[in-house]
């Protein structure tokens, strides 16, 4: 049995709800009052995760406490197709791990800006937003060149991987941190592609994909 200790507005929790839905895995949700209750710092929660952080996933008694590690666990244990974390392809695996690290950088920038604006966390907003834009420039360029090489996803695999799931939430929630995606057209197209993956679910601030758009030059879609 899978149990997810969850905060509805957390992007790191959402990526697990999203992946569980995509994989079609039954699971229980235990809501944690992250804000304003700070239940993740309570004695009871610290016995589960001494780091005092969300998300936490318990799978048949095994306790996992890092969102990227949990994605790998779920893909390795439950994805019979092997596409989400292709363990037999070292080149793609190295790419995936690089983008998992990128997802952690998004948490330290985009998420920090969002927490400052929405919940008053004492982060340096200007620094967080500037860091987010540096990451977005790198991401947009990577996706732009990828589209021209016929690649739709973050890694060289023909289908999405856990890398796309890891990076998606805080990119899609960036406007809540005052980080506009207006100047990043390849990012906007990629966000739309992720929203069209079978089993996709939304959260507050992340909406379903809109109507499909016509293919653009060289197979790209959406506005320039």
**Residue ranges per domain, the chain?**
2-78, 90-197
What confidence tier does 212 reach under pLDDT thresholds 50, 70, 90? Answer: confident
Instruction: Give the integer Cα–Cα distance in Å for 8 and 18.
Output: 12
The per-residue pLDDT for 213 is: 55
The per-residue pLDDT for 222 is: 39
Average pLDDT of the residues in 29-37:
96
Average pLDDT of the residues in 97-108:
98
Residue 143 has pLDDT above 70, yes or no: yes
Average pLDDT of the residues in 121-145:
98
pTM: 0.93
- Residue 195's CB is within 10 A of a number of other CB atoms, namely 16
Helix%, strand%, coil% for the chain, nearest 5: 50, 10, 40
The per-residue pLDDT for 220 is: 41
Instruction: Give the integer Cα–Cα distance in Å for 62 and 219.
Output: 44
Average pLDDT of the residues in 60-83:
97
For the stretch 145-173, pLDDT in tens is 999 999 999 999 999 999 999 999 999 99
Higher pLDDT, 199 or 212: 199
Same fold, 2-78 and 90-197: no
For the stretch 187-210, pLDDT in tens is 999 999 999 999 999 999 999 998
Q: Quick one: DSSP state of residue 39?
A: G
* CATH class of residue range 90-197: mainly alpha
Distances (CA, A) of 220 to 19, 141, 149, 208, 209: 25, 14, 10, 20, 16
What CATH number has the domain spanning 2-78?
A: 3.40.30.10
């Amino acid at each position: 049995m899978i149990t997810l200790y969850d905060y509805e507005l957390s992007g790191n929790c959402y990526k697990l709800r999203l992946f569980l839905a995509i994989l079609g895995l039954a699971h229980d949700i235990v809501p944690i009052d992250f804000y304003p209750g700070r239940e993740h710092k309570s004695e009871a929660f610290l016995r589960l995760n001494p780091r005092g952080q969300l998300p936490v996933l318990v799978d048949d008694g095994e306790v996992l406490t890092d969102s990227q590690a949990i994605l790998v666990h779920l893909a390795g244990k439950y994805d019979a197709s092997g596409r989400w974390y292709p363990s037999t392809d070292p080149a793609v695996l190295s790419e995936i791990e690089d983008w998992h690290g990128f997802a952690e950088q998004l948490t330290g920038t985009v998420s920090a800006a969002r927490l400052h604006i929405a919940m008053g966390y004492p982060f340096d907003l200007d620094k967080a937003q500037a860091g987010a834009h540096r990451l977005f420039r790198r991401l947009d360029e990577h996706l732009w060149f990828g589209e021209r090489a016929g690649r739709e996803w973050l890694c060289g695999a023909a289908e999405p991987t856990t890398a796309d799931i890891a990076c998606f939430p805080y990119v899609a929630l960036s406007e809540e941190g005052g980080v506009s995606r207006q100047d990043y057209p390849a990012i906007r197209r990629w966000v739309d592609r992720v929203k069209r993956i079978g089993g996709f679910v939304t959260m507050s601030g992340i909406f379903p994909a809109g109507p499909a758009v016509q293919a653009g030059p060289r197979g790209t879609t959406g506005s320039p």
